[in-house]
Structure 1
Amino acid sequence: MNIIQHQIHITAEWITDYAQSIDAPLQVLQGKLVAPSTMPIIFWQAFDIPWLKGDHPLIHGKQHFSYEAPITARMILDCELSLTQIENKTSRHGNLILYTHSLVCFNEGDLIVTAETVLISVGENI
């Protein structure tokens, strides 16, 4: 299965902790804390991702975030992580596998953010 879902509860404390960890300023919109734009990358911690289980190290390749609305404190996000592409490459360091992912999050049925991420596995064979 290459699609998994998880519900993410956004708290003011979580936003504050994340913002401090990346030295980002805190922002407020209509009385609610706004999450830094890169925060969805840590949503992955909530998922059990079966296709990434293995002993090979993963390198972060690239990421892109597309927002329809900001993520704010007290949101409950319905998120879906999907593996959209697997690509094999060969480098001077050996085999590389590029895993392209899409993380899509909705709040009350409205699209909030889409995050595209590429992770690279070094030395793995498919």
Structure 2
Amino acid sequence: MNKIRFQVQLTTENIVQYAHSIASPLQRIGGAAVAPSTMPVTFWKTADVPWLPLKAAMIHGTQQFTYHAPLMAGMNLNCELSLVAVKHKAGRSGLLMFYTHSLICYHRDKPIAEAETVLIGRGEMI
């Protein structure tokens, strides 16, 4: 299994920017900005994910999120991204690759958010 670890610092600025990009209303708790529920899929864009083709166009297949608490501005997260499965399937336009990922984010050494994401790309298996 492939696994990488990286850190994410949630700021008001990056939460507001993401919320606006998906036309989501900004929520606050005690004055702190709360990250939209789908924001964790952006976290691993800052990390080098060696098993994904560098120049390949990828689309999201499915996504599932589990939260133990809201993600809020000011949090420093330790994240662990794992490649859980790679499957290939013949499509009308050629070989399709299905990359299933698990992302677990920790805040103060406790899991705070988990995401399972399937990315779909075209091409050869890794």
Q: If the length of structure 1 is used for normalisation, what is the TM-score?
A: 0.92
Q: Deviations over 1:25-50 (max 9, x none)?
A: 11111231111101111112111011
Sequence identity (%) = 51
- Name the residue aligned to 2:72: 72
Shift of 1:98: 0.6
Shift of 1:22: 1.2
Distance 1:112 1:29 in 2: 16
Shift of 1:101: 0.3
- Name the residue aligned to 1:88: 88
- Name the residue aligned to 1:113: 113
Secondary structure at 1:50's aligned position in 2?
coil
User: Residue 48 and residue 124 in structure 1: after superposition, are their counterparts in 2 closer, same or farther (change >3 A)?
Assistant: same
**After alignment, is 87-96 or 9-18 more displaced?**
87-96
How many residues are treated as equivalent by the alignment? 126
* Structure 1 stretches of 4+ moved >4 Å: none
1:18-37 counterparts in 2 under 5 A?
18-37=18-37
**After alignment, is 26-35 or 74-83 more displaced?**
26-35
Amino acid at match of 1:33: A
Distance 1:97 1:48 in 2: 19
- 1:48 equivalent to 2:48? Answer yes
RMSD: 1.4
Secondary structure at 1:52's aligned position in 2?
coil
Secondary structure at 2:16's aligned position in 1?
helix
Q: If the length of structure 2 is used for normalisation, what is the TM-score?
A: 0.92
Secondary structure at 1:17's aligned position in 2?
helix
